[in-house]
Amino acid sequence: MSLVIPGARQFYCGKKRRALYTFLFWAGGLVVVFLASNSDVLVGIGFSVSCFLYIFGFLDAYFTAREVNSGLDIIIDDNPRVAAVLNVLTLGIGYFYVGDRKKGLILFLLGRVFGSLQGWALLVVFVLQLVLAWDAYRIAQAEIERRIGALLPGEELRPEPSRVPAVVPLIAAGCLVLALTALVVAGVMMGTVLS
C-alpha cells in the first residue's frame, strides 16, 4: 500500500498521525518540485523530501505492520525510523525526537549555517545526513531494547516474521538511496562542469 501512496499502510495499521504527516510532507515535496521549477535549490529540496519520505513510507509500513501484529507497537514510543527520517531531512530534529536536545540543537543550528553550501560540500552534507539518520535510529532502537529488557528481563522480543523477509524492503530502500546519491553526485559534477 505504501509503495503506491506513502502513509497508506501506516494508516491501515492505526498510526493515523504518522500516516498523515508522511503523506502531506511527501505530497508537499512533490508540489514544490513542480511549482518551483525556476529554483534549482527548491526543486532539489522538494525532490529529496519526497524521495526520503517515499522510502520512509514503505520501510516504516513494513516494520510497523510487524510490530502491530506482534503487539510490540505499544512499547515503542520513539519510533527509530521516524528519528532517522527527521535527522535526514532536518539535520538534527531526529535527536530532539529521541530526547537528545543538546545534540539536536547544535546540529540544527550548524545545518542552518552550512545550508547554503554548493558543489562537493553539498555531497559531504548529504552523506552526513545519512550518518546522522543512522545514529538517531540507533539511539531510538537502544531505548526500545532497554524498555523491553525492563519490562521482560531475560527475554528478547522480536516482531513476528513476515512472509516477505526484512531484507527485501531494506534492499529496495538501499537501492533508492544509492540512486538518490548518484543523482546528487551527477548534479554536483554538472554544476562543477557548467561553472
pLDDT tens sequence across 46-72: 888 888 888 888 888 888 888 777 777
How far, rounded to the nearest angstrom, does the alpha carbon of residue 147 sit from its chain's CA centroid? 23
Note whether residue 2 is domain-resident: no
Note whether residue 140 is domain-resident: yes
Confidence (pLDDT) at 31: 92
Note whether residue 69 is domain-resident: yes
Note whether residue 3 is domain-resident: no
Q: What is the pTM of this model?
A: 0.72
pLDDT tens digit sequence for 183-192:
777 776 776 6
Give the helix ranges, DSSP H, for the chain.
Answer: 8-12, 16-35, 40-70, 80-90, 93-97, 101-113, 120-151, 167-194
Note whether residue 37 is domain-resident: yes
Note whether residue 188 is domain-resident: yes
Expressed as residue numbers, the domain containing 108 is 8-194
Could you tell me which residue, 48 or 161, shows the higher pLDDT? 48
- Number of domains making up the chain: 1
The CA distance from 86 to 93, in Å, is 6
Note whether residue 99 is domain-resident: yes
Angle made by CA atoms 153, 155, 159, in degrees to the nearest 5: 130
Note whether residue 159 is domain-resident: yes
